[in-house]
Amino acid sequence: MSLKLLPRLTVGLALAAAPAAAQQHVRTIHEGAGADPRISVSQPESTSQASGGYVRSIEPSLGPLGDPLGIRPVLKARGIEYSLTYIADVLGNPTGGLRQGAIVEDRLNLRLNLNLDRLAGWEGATIHANAYFIHGTGLSRYYVGDLLTTSVIEALPSSRLYVLWFDQSLMDGQLGLRIGQQAADTEFFVSQTATLFVNSTFGWPAITGLDLPSGGPAYPLSAPAIRAKYAPGNGFSLQVGLYDGDPAGANRPGQDPEAQRLNRTGTSFRTNDPALIVAEATYAYNIEPEAKGLPGDITLGGWQHFGRFDSLRFDITGVPLADPNASGIGRPLRGNAGLYAIYDQTLYRESGKDDEGLGFFVRAAYSPTRSSLVDAYVDTGLAYKGLFEGRDDDTVGVSLAHARISDDARRADRDTIVYTGVPMPRRRAETVLEATYQAAVVPGFTVQPDIQYVFHPGAGVAGPDGRRLRNAAVLGVRATVQY
279 within some domain: yes
Strands (E), 137-174: 158-170
Is 343 part of any domain?
Answer: yes
Q: What residues have CB less than 8 Å from 46, skipping those under 6 apart?
A: 52, 55, 85, 438, 444, 446, 480, 482
| DSSP E strand boundaries for 25-99 | 80-95
pLDDT tier at 53, thresholds 50, 70, 90 = low
3-state secondary structure of 411: helix
434 within a domain of the structure (yes/no): yes
8 found inside a domain = no
Query: d(Cα 185, Cα 38) in Å, to the nearest integer?
Result: 17
Alpha helices (runs of H) in 99-165, residue ranges in sequence order: 116-120, 139
Asked if residues 343 and 158 have their Cβ atoms less than 8 Å apart, the reply is no
Q: Do the beta carbons of residue 106 and residue 86 sit within 8 Å? A: yes
CA distance 78 to 145: 48
pLDDT tens-digit readout, 465-483 = 888 999 999 999 999 999 9
Query: Looking at residue 356, what is its pLDDT?
Result: 92
Number of domains in the chain: 1
| Cβ neighbours of 174 (radius 10 Å) | 13
Residue 18 lies in a domain: no
**Any idea what the CATH number is for the domain that residue 384 is in?**
2.40.160.180
Across the chain, mean pLDDT equals 89
pLDDT at 355: 87
Rounded to a whole number, what is the largest CA-CA distance in the chain? 72
Residue 202 belongs to domain spanning: 33-482
pLDDT tens per residue, range 347-390: 999 988 888 999 999 999 999 999 999 999 999 999 999 999 99
What are 387-401's pLDDT values in tens digits? 999 999 999 999 999
- pLDDT value at residue 322: 87
Residue 371 lies in a domain: yes
Handedness of CA 351, 353, 358, 361 (dihedral sign): positive
Is residue 19 included in any domain, yes or no? no
Domain membership flag for residue 301: yes
Q: How would you write 432-468 as a 3-class SS string?
A: EEEEEEEEEEECCEEEEEEEEEEECHHHCCECCCCCE
Peptide bond into 324 cis (omega under 30): no
Question: CA angle 429-324-319, nearest 5°?
Answer: 70
